[in-house]
Amino acid sequence: MIETLFRILALMRKELLVILKDPRGRITLFVPPILQCLIFGYAATYDLSNVPYALVDHDRSAASRALAARLDGSGIFSRIATPEQTELAAAYLDNRRAVVIVVISRDFERNLNAGQPAPVQVIADGRNSNTAGIAQGYVGTVAATFGQEWRASHGLPGEAVRLTTRAWYNPSLETRWNMIPSLIGTITMLMTMMLTAMSVAREREEGTFDQLLVAPFRPTEIMIGKAVPSMMVGIVQSTLIFLVALFWFRIPFAGSYAVLYLGLVLFLAAAIGIGLFLSSIAANMQQAMILTFVLLMPFMLLSGLMSPAENMPMALQYFTMINPLHYAISITREVYLEGAGLDQLLPDMLALVAIAAVTLPFAAWLFRNRLV
């Protein structure tokens, strides 16, 4: 028993030396996560802060000018041109200088004062239909507020039915709040899965894995010796990203550190299990990397990071059940933003345990039973 422990420790020491002795390797492991979190934290948001638009004002009335002034003063929309006709505005959309064209119809003010819906057309660049839809939503909100205030200030009756809206847990509906906690899992998984997948493949390619197999190591010991150092690297990486989220982006942490780290350890065990499994079926580093990527892509795209998992067809939702990142993102989001406790997260954590419990022993078995 003690000897097993010594052997594992020796292997871990060697593994950590391999990873960390090269200064370039040290930099590659710990600087990119911080930079990525900073860059993607700012980049990965669906919130728009700068929407250039072209205004076509057919009405030329006090009301239409007031609406345009409202858009210009919103801090989000910046008017780049005020052409006479929609046809002339089209060029701005074509060459992507404008994201939307706002067309105010001729009878805008008359309808507004008559208590009739005053028509406004919002044409958006559908080449990125997501951004376009959000920009249209913003115009809609600005116009609705303007219309209500115009009616109120001109002694007209208000709308018969009004929606009052509130968002829980994220009152200003910032997507950044949602994205950054998710980056903890995403960035760490990318780096640790690659690290683990490459580690066995590298030894196989260099022939040192055979030496390891004939040495008095049990496959389980090799597995633990390979998995734990990767996990240590992963924990350091996720802590760095967590610190950036907390102190740079100042997103308040609502949960318990113990629950967060329990979730991260289980997640890393699952991710590393998959990495080791891929690594043990690959004959060389190239195969290991390609296999990792073929799996990483669906893991990332179907994780709920960029689009909610509920929108996917059933077949792909089954796939998300074996996707450790899917669980990690829901755990980090819920612990971070909602302060969820262990009881709420138990199903997600158990799923991660199950993934690790299948992949890690299987990888250990493959070490010896794969014929190269």
R_g (Cα) of the chain, nearest Å:
27
User: Is residue 273 a contact partner of residue 356, using CB atoms and an 8 Å limit?
Assistant: yes
Q: Give, as ranges, the residues between 50 and 79 that touch other proteins (CB under 8 A).
A: 50-52
Residue of 73, 133, 341, 347 interacting with other proteins (CB under 8 A): 133
Residue of 148, 220, 239, 256 interacting with other proteins (CB under 8 A): 148
| Rounded least distance, CB 365 to other proteins, Å | 22
Give whichever of 64 and 356 is closer to other proteins, judged by the CB atom. Answer: 64
Full strand arrangement of the beta sheet holding 51-57: 77-81, 51-57, 100-104
| Rounded least distance, CB 21 to other proteins, Å | 12
| Rounded least distance, CB 220 to other proteins, Å | 25
Residue 136 engages other proteins in binding (rule: CB under 8 A): yes
Identify which range of 212-220, 233-241, 306-314, 361-369 contacts other proteins by CB under 8 A: 306-314
The burial of 354, by beta-carbon neighbours within 10 Å (0-12 exposed, 13-18 middle, 19 or more buried), is given as middle
Residue 231 engages other proteins in binding (rule: CB under 8 A): no
Query: How far is it, in rounded angstroms, from Cα 58 to Cα 125?
Result: 21
Q: Give, as ranges, the residues between 327 and 356 that touch other proteins (CB under 8 A).
A: 333-334, 337-338
Query: How far is it, in rounded angstroms, from Cα 260 to Cα 207?
Result: 39
Measuring CA to CA, how many Å separate 41 from each of 33, 69, 179, 215, 287?
11, 32, 7, 46, 31
Long-range pairs for 219-223: beta carbons < 8 A, 24 or more residues apart:
219/364, 219/365, 219/367, 219/368, 220/361, 220/364, 221/4, 221/7, 221/8, 221/11, 222/11, 222/364, 222/367, 223/276, 223/360, 223/361, 223/363, 223/364, 223/367
Residue 222 engages other proteins in binding (rule: CB under 8 A): no
Q: What is the DSSP letter of 251?
A: P
Q: Give, as ranges, the residues between 88 and 127 that touch other proteins (CB under 8 A).
A: 93-96, 99, 112, 115-127
Q: What are phi and psi of 102, to 5 degrees?
A: -105, 120
Identify which range of 188-196, 269-277, 348-356, 359-367 contacts other proteins by CB under 8 A: 188-196
Residue 151 engages other proteins in binding (rule: CB under 8 A): yes
Q: Give, as ranges, the residues between 167 and 186 that touch other proteins (CB under 8 A).
A: 167-171, 173-175, 177-178
Give whichever of 2 and 163 is closer to other proteins, judged by the CB atom. Answer: 163
Q: At a CB cut-off of 8 Å and minimum separation 6, what does 156 contact? A: 113, 115, 150
| Rounded least distance, CB 221 to other proteins, Å | 23
Q: Which of 62, 54, 76, 173 is nearest to 125 (CA)?
A: 54
Residue 272 engages other proteins in binding (rule: CB under 8 A): no
Q: Give, as ranges, the residues between 6 and 25 that touch other proteins (CB under 8 A).
A: 22, 24-25
Give whichever of 191 and 241 is closer to other proteins, judged by the CB atom. Answer: 191
Residue of 160, 214, 371, 372 interacting with other proteins (CB under 8 A): 160
